[in-house]
Structure 1
Amino acid sequence: MHTSRYLLAGSFAILCLVSCDHRDAGLDPRTENTSVFREIATLDLGGTAASEISAYDPLSQRIFTVNNETVPKVEVLEYSTANGLVKRAPIDVSALGGVANSVAVSNGKLAIALEATNKQANGSVVVVDTRTLAIQKTIPVGALPDMVTYSPDGRYIVTADEGEPNDAYTVDPVGSVSIIDITNNYSVKTLTFEAFDSQKATLMANGFRLFGPKASLAQDVEPEYVTISPDSRKAWVTLQESNAIAEVDLVSGAILRLWPLGTKDVSLTINAIDPSDRDNKIALATWPIKTFYLPDAIAHFEANGGNYLITADEGDTRAYGGYNEEARISTLTLDPVAFPNGTMLKDPANLGRMVVTKSLGDTDGDGDYDVLYGFGGRGFSIINAATGQRSYFSGKTLEEKVIAAGLYDDTRSDDKGVEPEGVTVGTINGRPIAFIALERADAIAIYDLSDPANPQFRQLLPTGDAPEGVHFVAAGKSPTGRSLLIVSSEGDGTVKVYQPDFL
């Protein structure tokens, strides 16, 4: 729909690159403007699922993008100012297992997270030379490796092994985190969560979710995304469906702590939402409900001498043939004391259309709901990496930015709103800059995180349909000599490259 606008913006930026490129000098000495990113290249790889997660290799100057539209493969893209993005022969992984879920690059080695043909069986990480595209190693990991990343020093490959159940919910593998030590001949240690079973009552009292039918805590935990500290010693892993973060010691190979994330109180003005897709308007308001944050992506950053985590609080549900926790509020019996205006709330123009969980909320066990719990924070959180305490939550402000830009999709008001899914943090001009992918707004929200207690909004950047992968390339490793943002959009199969203007 916005093709002509993107092409014009891309052409302008490419002209600027030709006249302003300082690649021979390494870094351009001018200051980059984090409030004005522009698209400089785009490539359509197909339809839905043709572009999911991307990684960039500065040695080969190639972008690697997961493409599962037809057969599992990893696209190989090259960028130049003269030709834009050019697709080369892909890496076909269809004979190696099931779907490719994620990619990461370090020191000329591409790591591909590959689930097994039987999704509940153990998956693998395939390591490929980024220049020759030859497979160097295949390492077994846990069930359904959903995300893969390298430690900053290149020593470790870490995967979040989601361990989802089958559709009938009769086979539910344990969730796990796999640590591969490259320096020890790619030895692997897969960590599971049985040790935390004795803590489940305390964890649940603080907002940890444990609700899969007949599932132990180790089975119910589904690791989603990993970030690693700059010294490569610790990792933090989102446990999305459990509404928690796991802290992991990479050196000793141990899960140290689980941090329950609590709930967002929508009765507070700062947390107002629009819960209806049937009210013919976009209106943020307070309601007598709570929502779980349920983060997807997570990224580490440093600011003011401290270490922090930023999470994209997307929300997720379990909706299988054998078990479905979802229900619309209009279908539930509400406790008349807790909700004296229950009939009004169940109106489709109010809360009636909102999707909540059936797994929790009947606090007295009498068959009606005393508390209502929805899915997703509809924003982002900043968490102290040392204590696990939330330092900041965006509340309604992120959705307000999207509404003001005319990008809010009211058809998603009943179900997770703008749905922040991906996040990465890059350093620009010595400052931590966050890029948050909003799946239902088709946009990237850019924030300066220099003050973790008060992030500063910089730009809302339109993208392809349903951006999932956001990958930052520092200016010193970029083929243009400027910072780059690579965005992979699952809905329309596009890869787009953006870079900032100069001040």
Structure 2
Amino acid sequence: MKNLSLSLLAALSILASCNNDENSNTEPEVVVNENPGTFKEIGSITIGGEAAAEISAYCEKTKRLFTVNNSGVNQIDVIDISDPTKPLKIGKIDLVSYEGAANSVSVFDGKLAVALESTVNKQGNGKVVIFNTSDYSLIKQVTVGALPDMITFSPDGKFIMTANEGEPNADYTQDPNGTISIIETSSYNVTTLDFTSFAGQAAALVKDGFRISKFAKTSFAQDIEPEYITISDDSKTAWVTLQENNGVAKVDLTSKTITAIYPLGLKDYNTTENAIDVSDSDSKIAFNPWKVKGLYMPDAISHFTLNNTPYFVTANEGDAREYTAYTDVKRMKNMTLDATAFPDAATLKLDTNLGRLNLVADLGDTDGDGDLDQMVSFGGRSFSIWNGNTGKIVFDSKNDVDKKTNELGTYDDKRSDDKGSEPEAVVAAKMGSQNILFVGLERSDAFMVYDATNPTSPQYLQTVKTGDAPEGILFIPASKSPTKRSLLVVSSEGDGSVKIYQPDLK
């Protein structure tokens, strides 16, 4: 009976996949009785060295992956995964002639969209170039904002969005506004939004935990750096991480306006459940409470909906600004601590304690007298779930990320003084009736799996080893998969590997 049931399920899966568009979260779910806590590697391919496999997108029509390759080349590598146990590189799309380098890719209905930062002038406008996934022919290229760092199709395919980071050059003589571009796929008309209209709210935002650098040469709109986008299932709302600013922007796709900025506030590491390992010079991994705060500073973002309430999920990596004209990171031992707030300053400054910890250099002097009244570090060393309507935190994984990777044996103690495991990627996916989260850890070379069916209390399922420095995580649901089984694709920029994982059946 078991084999007959599985055959029937497979047949239903095939029928369902023939009637659904790619990248749509609103399609009927194919019911495959899989155990989301049992993902195992089933296939792997290495396409180059460092920076060879940053982000991948999947085309259901051709059963191909399209993977960014910046390892001494400027191209998209094409990988056939019709048999995911034997991925095979079958071609490439050369990007040199487009005067841009790829940062991100996305696929919908046989079209590949590539986000290109300018190779002529990094602070100049970027491009989105759209190709046919079957023969790699050019469909269209359009202009977007400066340094498009991430690209995605909306679930209904009507929009392409880019998060345009707009980083400055080394001496800050050029600092473009951070922007968000919205492309209508019916006409390829582009609307690019900046944050100028929110400048009057700067003080209130900062008070609630938004971060604006104190560098005098930059304006509010220039300081904003959009990083990553997720779009609601109905394709009407987007949430965009503003990583260096410790915030998330909400975008109305119907009116093409930014409707809100959510400050994410500070995380308190002076609690047992948030205890962290802060030294790379103590020859041990020890999780202890410290009188330190953390800016969440998320990189990737994903979303899910439960009982008509939207939630967005963030991977709280953290990121410093390090330029010739302005650097916002400084070792704790090189900073002056307020004697009242930190009477044990001399002990705290030892390298085996907090001395090596990287702090945000221009935060923490709350009374303006030139010393630190609180210590603020980079990143949350966690993933978090937030209410998509209010921006209020619903759940944080506390110190689970670093503790679980330490148990796996992949935690890198040499990153303890910086941002720990550096959660970089996150994907929310539906598996049966469960909302499953996959969290990629750049410095611990692993991904974690959680069941977030209850958003206030996600359940840990497993931690899985990946390639070196996983950058992108791609979930392929059973309805689109070549095997009619759920697949997880992890692209790792440290070693240029693309690995494919599949769960067991229950």
Residues of 2 paired with 1:439 and 1:21: CA distance? 39
Deviations 1:123-168 (A, max 9, x none): 0100000101101000100000000000000000000000000011
Conserved 8 A contact 1:391-1:452:
yes
- 1:258 paired with 2:254, answer no
3-state SS of paired residue (1:218)? helix
Inter-partner Cα distance in structure 2 for 1:426 and 1:261: 24
Alpha carbons 1:21, 1:481 under 8 Å: kept? no
Whole-Å separation in 2 of the counterparts to 1:112 and 1:131: 15
How do 1:54-203 residues align onto structure 2 when only pairs under 5 Å count? 54-81=56-83, 84-117=86-119, 118-183=121-186, 185-203=187-205
Is the contact between residue 31 and residue 429 of structure 1 (CA under 8 Å) also seen in structure 2? yes
Which of the numbers 442, 446, 461 marks the counterpart of 1:443?
Answer: 446
Report the 3-state secondary structure (helix = DSSP H, G, I; strand = E; otherwise coil) of the residue aligned with 2:97: coil
Contact in 2 for aligned 1:22/1:481 (Cα 8 Å): no
Specify the alignment match of 1:234 in structure 2. 237
1:365: how far off? Answer: 2.6
Structure 2: unaligned runs, 5 residues or longer: 1-5, 15-29
Give me the whole-angstrom Cα distance separating, in 2, the residues matched to 1:82 and 1:38: 12
Counterpart residue number, 2:27: none
Q: Retained in 2: the 8 A contact 1:208–1:244?
A: yes
Corresponding position of 2:13: 26
TM alignment of 1:400-479, pairs within 5 A: 400-479=403-482
User: Distance between the aligned counterparts of 1:233 and 1:341, measured in 2?
Assistant: 52
- Contact 1:422/1:469 (8 A) holds in 2: yes
Give the deviation of 1:399 after TM superposition: 1.8
Query: What's the secondary structure of 1:197's corresponding residue?
Result: helix
Q: Displacement, 1:26?
A: 2.9
Match of 1:287 in 2: 290
**Alignment CA distance shift 1:254-1:29 (3 Å):** closer
The more displaced of 345-354 and 297-306 is 297-306
Equivalent position of 2:210 in the other structure: 208
Is contact 1:197–1:218 with CA below 8 Å preserved after alignment? yes
TM-score normalized by the length of structure 2: 0.93
SS in 1 for 2:81: strand
Quick one: distance in 2 between partners of 1:64 and 1:434? 23
Q: Residue 469 and residue 212 in structure 1: after superposition, are their counterparts in 2 closer, same or farther (change >3 A)?
A: farther
Assess, with a 3 A threshold, how the Cα gap between structure 1 residues 358 and 29 changes in structure 2: closer, same or farther: closer
| Alpha-carbon separation, structure 2, partners of 1:467 and 1:303 | 29
Higher mean C-alpha displacement, 53-62 vs 301-310: 301-310
2:22 match:
none
In structure 2, C-alpha distance between the alignment counterparts of 1:417 and 1:485, rounded to whole Å? 24
- Please give the alpha-carbon distance, in whole angstroms, between the structure 2 residues aligned to 1:78 and 1:454: 38
Shift of 1:81: 3.0
Q: Cα deviation per residue 1:161-196 (whole Å; 9 max; x = unaligned)?
A: 00000011221100000000112x110000000000
State the partner residue of 2:330.
327
Q: Is the 8 A contact 2:9 2:32 kept in 1?
A: no
Offset, 1:486: 0.6
Change over 3 Å in CA distance of 1:29–1:329 after alignment to 2: closer
Alignment counterpart, residue 44 of structure 1, candidates 39, 46, 50: 46
Structure 1 residues not aligned, in runs of 5+: 1-18
Distance in structure 1 (CA, Å) of the matches to 2:269 and 2:31: 46
Q: For residue 322 of structure 1, report the CA deviation from its aligned partner.
A: 1.4
Aligned residue for 1:337? 340
**Which whole-Å CA distance do the structure 2 matches of 1:310 and 1:153 have between them?**
21
Q: Residue 244 in 1 paired to residue 231 in 2?
A: no
Deviations 1:49-70 (A, max 9, x none): 0000001000111100000011
User: Residue 99 of structure 1 aligns to a residue in which SS?
Assistant: strand
Secondary structure of the structure 2 residue equivalent to 1:230? coil
Q: CA deviation at 1:363?
A: 2.2
Query: Once the 2 structures are TM-superposed, how far is the Cα of residue 280 of structure 1 from its aligned partner?
Result: 1.1
> How far is 1:89 from its partner?
1.7
Using the TM superposition, give the Cα deviation of residue 259 of structure 1 relative to its aligned residue in structure 2, in angstroms. Answer: 0.3
**Corresponding residue for 1:3?**
none
Shift of 1:345: 0.4
- Aligned residue pairs, count: 485
Q: Structure 1: how far apart are the matches of 2:142 and 2:84?
A: 39
Distance 2:83 2:296 in 1: 41
Match of 2:357 in 1: 354
SS in 1 for 2:455: coil
Give the fraction of aligned pairs with identical amino acids, expressed as a percent: 50
TM-score (norm: length of structure 1): 0.94
Find the counterpart in structure 1 of residue 301 from structure 2: 298
Distance (whole Å) between structure 1 residues aligned to residue 403 and residue 271 of structure 2: 15
Aligned to 1:14: none
Query: Structure 1: how far apart are the matches of 2:448 and 2:242?
Result: 23
* SS at 1:404 equivalent: helix
Deviation at 1:197, TM superposition (A): 0.4
Q: Distance in 1 between matches of 2:376 and 2:232?
A: 33
- Which of residues 477, 487, 500 is equivalent to 1:497? 500
Q: Show the counterpart of 1:317.
A: 320
Distance (whole Å) between structure 1 residues aligned to residue 374 and residue 438 of structure 2? 34
Q: Which moved more, 1:212-221 or 1:480-489?
A: 212-221
Mapped contact 1:113–1:125 kept (Cα < 8 A): yes
**CA RMSD of the aligned region, Å?**
1.6
Query: 1:477-498 CA distances to partner (integer Å, 9 max, x unpaired)?
Result: 0001100101000100000111
What secondary structure is seen at the aligned counterpart in 2 of 1:486?
strand
1:217 and 2:204 are equivalent in the alignment:
no
8 Å Cα contact 2:66/2:105 also seen in 1:
yes
Q: Alignment partner of 1:32: what SS?
A: coil
